């Protein structure tokens, strides 16, 4: 950063620094470090068990990954602060947050870590002539302590008196702005209790950093009102579901020709079906979208045109953009952005032509199999990442396959 860390901490009245990274699922992990300790060694390495990159979404370690297991002894990994990301926590007075990069014990980068994966994907896209600004829109539902729809009846896009009785829009907006991120718009979504937050465009890595930090901020702010923020792709009471919507600036800007966007869309249509598990990483993810023509879902599995899950259009700044809404709000932002960059860049590099209408996976198990069987994914994302992610998704799919759901109980308990 351009000023000395100790001066910055003093200027902003910081007493605690949250040193953070995300696990594979996008959940923020880390430690709170007193400011007087952080200022002495701002580039210190902070040790964590490497199982943090191998546990499941509930933080339970399982033995199926080669990266971290009982045989390896769960050695430490080290989180190294990226001081360019240091910023105040606009939702928590006196605290700051910094994002880290993850290293092995011998100081080499952990290449399968989400932030490292996105860094490589952004570099590959730049090599293909695509260096987009990325604007992220997050959707969430307010829920009560039991996970049911919260008793907040904000009308869709409502601004009338009483539309925000708890003052959450102002609290969320001020918390994000106080962190230094630009809020393009914030408001109620299509369903009661659904909130949509759109952030200003940033370079890919910074945009994913912002999405992760903002999700954490929203959860803490909403918790202060006695509610919870759920980024579940489709809560049981929801028809529309929650997306992680991305706007990626167009290669070449407004002057780009039709061939450029054709190659970009062709790459996405060809390769995103193989990367769906990065954008839809839970069994619930696949209940948000429906095939084109079926009920439910934000536009269905359509490519191109209004309401599609991926199309050329105009971003919130009015400039040409690739607009993607295949990713669920449950996706790790680093992995979702990396997937779109990798697929689009492959299309640009190959001057690809659009394939036949792609068929997307309908379940996590199918998506995992598509990724496992993709030589292109292994080459583009790295053998270590793909093997690790496939093991994690296989574990999740197996747990779901073994579970007896409430729906099954209601449907069959007294009828067979």
Q: Which of 390, 210, 243 is nearest to 310 (CA)?
A: 243
Q: ∠342-266-384 over CA atoms, to 5°?
A: 25
Q: What is the pLDDT of residue 2?
A: 47
What does each C-alpha distance from 117 to 172, 214, 341, 379 come to in angstroms?
29, 20, 11, 12
State how far the Cα of 176 lies from the Cα of 156, in Å rounded to an integer: 22
Residues 303-340 pLDDT 10s = 554 456 788 778 877 888 899 999 999 999 999 999 99
- Check if the beta carbon of residue 82 is closer than 8 Å to that of residue 109: no
State how far the Cα of 84 lies from the Cα of 81, in Å rounded to an integer: 9
Q: What is the pLDDT of residue 162?
A: 62
Q: What DSSP assignment string belongs to 366-410?
A: HHHHHHHT-HHHHHHH-HHHHHHHHHHHHHHHHHHHHPPPHHHHH
Q: What is the pLDDT of residue 1?
A: 56
Q: Environment class of residue 363 by beta-carbon count within 10 Å: exposed (0-12), middle (13-18) or buried (19+)?
A: middle
Orientation of helix 204-223 relative to helix 114-127, angle to 10°: 140
Tell me: pLDDT of 301 over 60: no
Q: What is the pLDDT of residue 292?
A: 45
Chain-centroid distance of CA 389 in Å reads 15
Residues 228-242 pLDDT 10s = 999 999 998 888 899
Tell me: pLDDT of 58 over 60: yes
Tell me: pLDDT of 300 over 50: no
Q: Environment class of residue 220 by beta-carbon count within 10 Å: exposed (0-12), middle (13-18) or buried (19+)?
A: middle
Q: What is the pLDDT of residue 353?
A: 87
The residue ranking higher by pLDDT, 265 or 370, is 370
State how far the Cα of 108 lies from the Cα of 39, in Å rounded to an integer: 24
State how far the Cα of 349 lies from the Cα of 355, in Å rounded to an integer: 16
Pairing between β-strand 95-103 and β-strand 16-22 as defined by DSSP bridges: parallel
State how far the Cα of 317 lies from the Cα of 185, in Å rounded to an integer: 12
CB atoms within 10 A of CB 317: 14
State how far the Cα of 218 lies from the Cα of 1, in Å rounded to an integer: 26
Residues 116-139 pLDDT 10s = 999 999 999 999 989 999 999 999
Q: What is the pLDDT of residue 157?
A: 57
The average pLDDT across 84-98 equals: 97
Q: What is the pLDDT of residue 345?
A: 95
Tell me: pLDDT of 296 over 50: no
- Confidence tier at 254 by pLDDT (50, 70, 90): low
Residues 176-209 pLDDT 10s = 999 999 999 998 888 888 999 999 999 999 999 9
- How does the average pLDDT of the chain come out, rounded? 89
Q: What is the pLDDT of residue 290?
A: 63
- Confidence tier at 20 by pLDDT (50, 70, 90): very high
The residue ranking higher by pLDDT, 232 or 62, is 232
* Tokens of residue 172, six digits: 């969320």
Domains of the chain in start order, with CATH, are 5-110 (3.10.20.70), 120-406 (3.30.590.10)
Q: What is the pLDDT of residue 154?
A: 60
Tell me: pLDDT of 294 over 50: no
- Confidence tier at 293 by pLDDT (50, 70, 90): very low
State how far the Cα of 266 lies from the Cα of 107, in Å rounded to an integer: 38
Report percent pLDDT > 90 for the chain: 69
Report percent pLDDT > 70 for the chain: 90
Q: Global pTM?
A: 0.93
- Check if the beta carbon of residue 53 is closer than 8 Å to that of residue 102: yes
CB atoms within 10 A of CB 168: 22
């Amino acid at each position: 950063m351009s000023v000395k860390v100790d001066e910055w901490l003093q200027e902003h009245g910081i007493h605690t620094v949250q040193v953070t990274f995300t696990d594979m699922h996008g959940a923020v992990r880390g430690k709170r470090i007193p400011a007087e300790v952080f200022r002495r060694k701002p580039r210190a390495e902070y040790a964590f068990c490497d199982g943090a990159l191998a546990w499941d979404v509930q933080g339970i370690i399982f033995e199926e990954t080669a990266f971290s297991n009982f045989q390896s002894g769960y050695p430490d990994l080290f989180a190294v602060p990226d001081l360019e990301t240091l910023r105040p926590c606009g939702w928590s007075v006196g605290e700051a947050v910094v994002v880290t990069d993850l290293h092995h014990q011998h100081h080499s980068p952990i290449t399968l870590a989400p932030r490292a994966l996105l860094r490589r994907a952004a570099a590959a896209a730049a090599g293909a002539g695509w260096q987009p600004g990325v604007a992220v829109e997050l959707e969430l539902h307010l829920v009560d302590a039991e996970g049911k729809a919260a008793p907040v009846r904000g009308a869709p896009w409502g601004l009338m008196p009483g539309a925000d009785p708890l003052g959450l829009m102002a609290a969320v907006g001020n918390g994000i702005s106080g962190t230094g991120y630009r809020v393009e718009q914030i408001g109620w979504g299509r369903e009661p209790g659904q909130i949509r937050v759109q952030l200003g465009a940033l370079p890919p890595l910074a945009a994913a950093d912002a999405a992760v930090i903002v999700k954490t901020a929203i959860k803490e702010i909403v918790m202060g009102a006695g509610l919870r923020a759920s980024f579940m792709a489709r809560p049981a009471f929801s028809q529309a579901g929650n997306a992680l919507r991305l706007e990626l600036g167009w290669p070449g800007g407004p002057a780009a020709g039709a061939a450029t966007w054709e190659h970009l869309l062709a790459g996405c249509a060809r390769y995103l079906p193989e990367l769906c598990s990065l954008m839809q990483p839970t069994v619930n993810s696949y209940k948000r979208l429906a095939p084109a023509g079926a009920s439910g879902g934000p536009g269905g599995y359509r490519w191109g045109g209004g309401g599609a899950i991926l199309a050329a259009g105009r971003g919130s700044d009015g400039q040409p953009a690739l607009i993607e809404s295949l990713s669920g709000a449950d996706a790790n932002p680093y992995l979702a952005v990396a997937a779109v960059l990798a697929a689009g860049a492959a299309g640009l590099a190959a001057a690809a032509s659009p394939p036949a209408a792609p068929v997307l996976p309908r379940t996590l198990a199918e998506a995992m199999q598509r990724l496992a069987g993709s030589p292109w994914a292994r080459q583009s994302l790295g053998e270590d990442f793909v093997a690790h992610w496939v093991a994690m998704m296989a574990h999740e799919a197996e747990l779901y396959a073994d579970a007896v759901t409430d729906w099954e109980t209601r449907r069959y308990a007294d009828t067979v």
